[in-house]
């Protein structure tokens, strides 16, 4: 009897320790997509000062940044790969901590692959899309995520859930799938797979999907007509407008464009959390 009592007390203590380790005031956001989510904007001086309440969960070892996989760091860009640049995620997090109470910390996990088809994140068929571009710049990025970006992101998310609570999923992807109406069903499956694999409630974990460039002369703005239909397929999805966000080339925003888009992601998330937001679209 004493042995059973001891075991029960031990199990209770372990459970209590695990619950205590998870901070309900630590809000975590999963981010995935292709090159614009990676970040292609020049990191300028104004981007290098970051509130310590905005953290990034390092996805891969980056000796050049003195960061190792699976640890939290202040989210000084780059926040995706070792040599990526400014991303919408950077100003999503900054805006969140500016508007949220001081008791709240915001963390992001960013797994993105430039040029990828959205189906690279489909856990059932990803192997059909791991060499969409059979060139080292692409295949090396997939390899950095152990060849399976979806599983890699989920594994990181499970680890991060020990520290905080996943509050949302951010997507920026579509250029490679321009014109494919099926993109809507592809995204729906991936989102629901994420919810199921991480035991998340869609009502508590919305999906925010950003439009691709709308600037004149770009490659892929036709995709926005499809992206804009996502809430019809996924009722907990919200589209983030890219209208007026400046570009640096035919496919990518410039630094100011990323700042604007990132802030819009944040303002939408804050509205969903019940915060009164008066900002007009910037």
Active site residues: 35, 249, 252
SS3 (DSSP) at 253: strand
CA 255 – CA 112 distance, rounded (Å): 18
Would you say 114 and 107 are in contact if contact means Cβ atoms under 8 Å apart? Answer: no
**DSSP H helical segments within 81-161, as ranges?**
88-99, 136-144, 149-160
CA 137 – CA 271 distance, rounded (Å): 38
Q: Which residues contact 13 (CB under 8 A, 6 or more apart)?
A: none
Would you say 62 and 82 are in contact if contact means Cβ atoms under 8 Å apart? Answer: yes
CA 246 – CA 205 distance, rounded (Å): 29
């Amino acid at each position: 009897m004493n042995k059973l009592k001891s075991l029960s007390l031990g199990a209770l203590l372990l459970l209590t320790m695990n619950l205590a380790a998870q901070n309900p005031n630590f809000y975590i956001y999963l981010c995935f997509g292709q090159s614009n989510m990676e970040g292609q904007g020049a990191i300028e001086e104004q981007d290098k000062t970051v509130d310590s309440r905005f953290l990034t969960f390092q996805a891969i070892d980056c000796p050049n940044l003195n960061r190792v996989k699976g640890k939290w760091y202040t989210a000084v860009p780059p926040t995706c790969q070792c040599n990526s640049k400014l991303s919408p995620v950077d100003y999503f997090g900054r805006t969140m901590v500016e508007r949220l109470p001081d008791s709240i910390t915001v963390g992001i996990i960013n797994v993105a692959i430039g040029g990828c088809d959205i189906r690279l994140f489909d856990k059932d068929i990803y192997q059909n899309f791991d060499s969409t571009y059979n060139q080292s710049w692409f295949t090396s990025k997939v390899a950095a995520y152990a060849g399976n970006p979806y599983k890699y992101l989920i594994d990181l998310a499970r680890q991060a859930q020990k520290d905080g609570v996943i509050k949302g999923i951010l997507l920026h992807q579509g250029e490679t799938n321009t014109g494919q109406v099926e993109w809507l069903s592809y995204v729906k499956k991936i989102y629901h797979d994420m919810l199921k694999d991480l035991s998340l409630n869609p009502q508590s974990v919305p999906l925010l999907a950003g439009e691709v460039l709308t600037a004149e002369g770009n490659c892929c703005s036709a995709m926005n007509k499809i992206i804009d239909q996502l809430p019809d397929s996924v009722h907990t999805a919200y589209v983030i407008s890219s209208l007026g966000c400046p570009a640096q080339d035919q496919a990518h925003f410039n630094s100011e464009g990323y700042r604007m888009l990132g802030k819009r992601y944040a303002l939408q998330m804050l509205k969903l959390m019940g915060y009164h937001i008066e900002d007009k679209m910037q």
